[in-house]
């Protein structure tokens, strides 16, 4: 079974706002070290595990069909 790891960062992702630790500083300088929040997707059974606020970005990454234009109603204020 194929499992897609969508994010591997902590609860706030990496880099964290205002954090000066080595990991966050490196992630600001080098984009390959940036991490979104943890989430997994299993395409065979169409299951999303632990969706995060980065969900739209994650689903765009796997070309999830429900993200195509017209599948979401417009925001109503």
Q: Distance between CA atoms of 68 and 27, rounded to whole angstroms?
A: 30
Q: Distance between CA atoms of 40 and 55, rounded to whole angstroms?
A: 10
Binding residue (CB under 5 A) for Zn ion from 19, 40, 48, 55? 19
Q: Distance between CA atoms of 69 and 63, rounded to whole angstroms?
A: 12
Stretch that binds Zn ion, among 1-9, 13-21, 36-44, 47-55 (CB under 5 A): 13-21
Site string for Zn ion, 23-42 (x = CB under 5 A): -x------------------
Residues that bind Zn ion (CB under 5 A): 16, 19, 21, 24
């Amino acid at each position: 079974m194929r499992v897609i790891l969508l994010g591997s960062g902590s609860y706030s992702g990496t880099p964290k706002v205002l954090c000066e630790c080595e990991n966050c500083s490196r992630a600001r300088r080098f984009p390959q070290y940036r991490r979104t929040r943890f989430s997994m997707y299993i395409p065979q059974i169409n299951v999303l595990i632990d969706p995060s606020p980065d969900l739209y970005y994650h689903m765009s990454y796997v070309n999830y069909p429900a993200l195509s234009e017209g599948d979401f109603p417009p925001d109503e204020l």
